[in-house]
Structure 1
């Protein structure tokens, strides 16, 4: 299995501002030391630049991004059925989202979801596209796997509500496009023998692994965070200047990545096919 020296978790944000309050980064080293919050007023471009610097420096980091790197494809045979520009795979999707959002500041993706063809597939506030199916929307194969683990995934095509993940995923795709060729992302790319690698994470999965009961979703105090870090083999953390769920999700995510990175079955999940690896991707930790 890959051996890593650093474990980084990024709680992402799709907010269309330069420095989203919900963007948090935490880092843990090998061993049992506590994760540390990388205190900075992050922008999405800052994050992309920082990850590129890690790659340039050869840092052997496992980096978890709390977002979906692709839309469902297998269920309908296309990301956007009926649209001639529907991309064939993940990297082509990232490129299209970036191209159609090129005029949006702060690596937002408002222009993409407003495109006459793309908007038909999304549920937005006050505007549900005619190709957004009834109910909860379309799901990737690995999101069905999340549901089987009794987690509560949301469709990436849903852009409504506090728990929606679509905006984060779209802005994340712009960053993934910028990092193409610099930082591999599993499973779209093979695991590199050196340097960093990106994986998709679901912070609720890390919390569940640390013992958080179903129905309780956020950590906002030091004692609860330390208890969960201990369950993941980590020492207690240094006090934070803030205890919001973005900071604690990132810290718990970094500790969880370190705790599970050496499990071979997580790198070769039973449900991951070559087609899914190039189109929909996979959430690290889903069997």
Structure 2
């Protein structure tokens, strides 16, 4: 349809301004997107005129209202064209951004209601007929398209507001005069005019608010207004290039105008380019301060939390396919649940004001109200209607009496009063209201969440792409598979299948990188070929002669060997390899599991987009005895007995893998010295709270 698409973020600022809350213009075409920050309205209009004069088919999207509610136009005796002409004739602006739009608003107020509906005098001096705060008004606050936007979970501002955050009225009064001049210069204005070589349309960049927030996390130095215009210009250009833009223009003409993309929000959001990846982790993100030797567990966790951030791009998917995925943006209700007031029971509905004390006898109207079969018409005052569970309350009904509490005589329903007003009814939006955040970003979607999204009309959600985590085992003593033959000095690989299973249970995409012998070149080739976001290795993470993983990461990557004050699992190698974070876990399976649960689980959760996963435990009496020295935190394999006491495995030996299977959780003992006897309160963390099921 178009050769170029320009998106204009307008401003009613009273002085030349750049940066936040100023004028931004983005232009997208086949060569990409470019944006510019324009200090004044006069310069912005000149820039648009220049674009129009370049001969291309051009769509100009402006972010301010192009009309007023129909009732206001009727009272003014104008259509939209007349409004633009009137404003162009009476509005003045200068090259210093000095505008008389407040005087224009005061004059329109006199023509409409007197001291309203325009409001928001932001100057020190009083302006007759322009109130400082919002007045009561008989005129609608919203145009029809804005009502639709609100029902779809968007939050358009009122065209009557001239001051404060979201002062759309000021932008409209300064912008519509320009629209008149652009039209005189050959542009058409949709949907008031047909589409032409140069078409101007009203847009609402906040359709992409979630995408803008995600974009700003990757580009924190970018001004939000700039991000909005660039992303919307790119999205509409992608739809234009892909042939999916025309349906956005298929609306009934209206003197109130329309917002381009309304009712097509999901398509517009899906067209936002996703090729820009989140920023990579810094190469020194795992570095510990100089002089740090033994690191307490809490200090190590705090360091990880500060160093990491989500590393996966965002994608749009259908809600019914989002099980197990992590929300990247708040899911906002597109409609209320329930959408209309309805009956909570089978019974009879009526107006409560028509009832009094004692026995009541109300004539029954013909017909009934059922779920999916609303009653046609209004129930007269003093009459009742048969209504079934889930049915929308007909006009004239606000209360329902339970069927079991009623008697019938063929033409009337009889019941005892008083009945509470609105008894046995559900309010519209009683569960969730349209526009309300239903599920916060970072939430891992489950079956109940899918039900909620569906009920609220949220057909598509933004989620992080799944985190791909590679698992590599190393060591000459390791035999890769349990179906292979093993010599007495060899052991079967327990870590790799354990970690792959663990990752799968956490909802990530586990990638088996196999087993490498203690061959630095082989390990290096394997790391280089790994197409993953994070790598977990086991073995070779300490400082011994055959600890090739840590040596390789130190010489060709960026390694920080963390000596954690932890039992089991003191050595923890953290490194960046070609931009990929590597967690070097101990080779002992017990230590490998504990380090994975304590360190890898919250770190991966944060990188995947679901936030820091804090383990949840609770206090129970001990069913064991132990004297612990100060200096290290300890995790004991434990399970609850039938009395709710925590038992621990018979041996603390880190080679006793059977204890991992025997246990159903861990007992966490503090860094300080402790003496545990039977009945001593201890912290017990169930496996389930660590993502182990």
Q: Which TM-score tier does this pair reach, normalised by the shorter chain?
A: 0.7 to 0.9
| Corresponding residue to 1:202 among 200, 204, 209 | 204
Q: Which residue of the partner structure matches residue 79 of structure 1? A: 73
- The alpha-carbon distance between structure 1 residues 80 and 41, as it changes in their structure 2 partners (threshold 3 A), is same
**After TM superposition, which residue ranges in structure 1, 4 or more long, deviate above 4 angstroms?**
128-131
Which residue is equivalent to 1:121? 117
Match of 2:65 among 48, 61, 68: 68
Higher-Rg structure is: 2
Deviation at 1:256, TM superposition (A): 2.0
Matched, 1:94 2:84: yes
Structure 1 SS opposite 2:73:
coil
CA drift at 1:64: 0.9
Q: Which blocks of at least 5 consecutive residues in structure 2 are unaligned? A: 122-130, 264-693
Contact 1:71-1:156 at 8 Å conserved across structures: yes
| Matched residue SS, 1:173 | helix
Query: 2:50 & 2:93 partners in 1: Cα distance?
Result: 25
| Displacement after TM superposition at 1:57 (Å) | 2.3
How does the TM-score come out when normalised to structure 2?
0.33
**Contact 1:138–1:157 (CA<8 Å) still a contact in 2?**
yes
Check 1:164–1:102 CA distance in 2 against 1; reply closer, same or farther (3 A cut): closer
Quote the offset at 1:283 in angstroms: 0.3
Change in CA separation of 1:57 and 1:264 when aligned onto 2, cut-off 3 Å = closer
1:103 Cα deviation after fit: 6.9
Distance in structure 2 (CA, Å) of the matches to 1:170 and 1:15? 12
Map of 2:508 onto structure 1: none
TM-score of the two chains, using structure 1 as the length reference: 0.74
Instruction: Give the drift of 1:202.
Output: 0.3
> Structure 1 regions of 5+ residues with no counterpart?
226-241
In the alignment, structure 1 residue 188 sits paired with structure 2 residue 198: no
The superposition leaves residues 95-136 of structure 1 with CA deviations (integer Å, 9 ceiling, x where unpaired) of 2122232377737322201326155221214534756359xx
Aligned CA distance change for structure 1 residues 220 and 250 (closer, same or farther; 3 Å): same
Return the structure number with greater strand share. 2
More helix by share: 1
SS in 2 for 1:106: coil
Shift of 1:20: 5.7
The equivalences for 1:169-184 within 5 A come to 169-182=172-185, 183-184=187-188
User: Matches of 1:23 and 1:284 in 2, distance apart?
Assistant: 20
Inter-CA distance 190–18: structure 2 relative to 1 (3 Å threshold): same
Distance 2:184 2:156 in 1: 29
Deviations 1:122-155 (A, max 9, x none): 1214534756359xx6111110111122001121
Post-superposition Cα deviations, 1:159-203, rounded to whole Å, max 9, x if no partner, equal 2321231111111112112212222111111111xx321111100
- Kindly provide the CA deviation profile for residues 24-64 of structure 1, in whole angstroms up to 9, marking residues without a partner as x: 0111113xx542212x4332112212222222221212111
> What displacement does 1:259 show?
2.9
Q: What SS does the corresponding residue of 1:36 show, helix, strand or coil?
A: strand
